[in-house]
Amino acid sequence: MDIYEAIEKRRTVRIFKKGATEEQLRKIILAGSKAPSAGNRQSWEFIMIDDAKIIDQLGEIKYQLNRKFSPGPGETQKDVEDRALNQKRWFQNSSVVAVCTRSGDFGTGWLAVENMSLAAAAEGLGSNIITYWDEGKKEVERILGLPGDYELTCVLKFGVAGGEVTPPKRRPEFKWLHKNKF
C-alpha cells in the first residue's frame, strides 16, 4: 500500500472485533519511531499495554473525564453519560499503546502518532486516539509508571473494526487552502 492509499484508508475506529497481533503492533510502533523529531531527539517512548486491569483503569479514567462535560445543544445529561460510557466500552477487544515524550518536547509525540495511525491502515487495522487531561492525565501517567521528566501524549487503540466504518465527512478539497495570507 502506498502512502496516499494509507492516508485515504486511515479511519478512526471505536468498536473493535479483535486487537492487533504483537507482530503488527511492533511494526506500527517501529513506524512511529521513524517520525521526525525536533533536533532529532527522538524523545518518544512507547508502552504496549496488554494487562486487562490497566486497560480497564484507562477506560474508567476516560469515562470519568468525559462524564464531566456539559450537554451540547439538544442534549441531555443522560446523552453525556451514555457517550462517556461508550468511551469506556470502546477499549474492549483493542490493542493499546501509550505514546509518551520527554516533558517539553511538544509535538514530537504527535508526529509518531500520525505515522502509527497510517501504519495501522497499511496493516488493514483501524486506530483510535485517546487523550487525557488534568488529573486524569496525571493518574494515567502514574498507573503507567512514567518517570517525572516524561509525559503522556496519548493512548492509541488498534485492531480490526467491529463493524462497517464509514469515511469521515470532509470539507471540500482546497476550501481550506490560502495563498500568502489567510
Q: How many CA atoms lie within 13 A of 16 on its CB side?
A: 26
The pLDDT of residue 100 is 97
Distance CA 19, CA 42 (A): 27
Distance CA 109, CA 155 (A): 11
Contact 35, 111 (CB under 8 A): yes
pTM to 2 decimals?
0.93
Work out the number of other CB atoms within 10 angstroms of the CB of residue 69: 14
Longest Cα separation, the chain: 52
pLDDT in tens, 108-125: 899 999 999 999 999 999
**Exposed, middle or buried: residue 147 (CB in 10 Å: 0-12, 13-18, 19+)?**
exposed
By DSSP bridging, strand 150-161 and strand 126-130 are antiparallel
Residues of the chain under the 70 pLDDT cut: none
In DSSP terms, 48 is beta-bridged to 97
The pLDDT of residue 143 is 98
pLDDT in tens, 64-92: 999 999 999 999 999 999 999 999 999 99
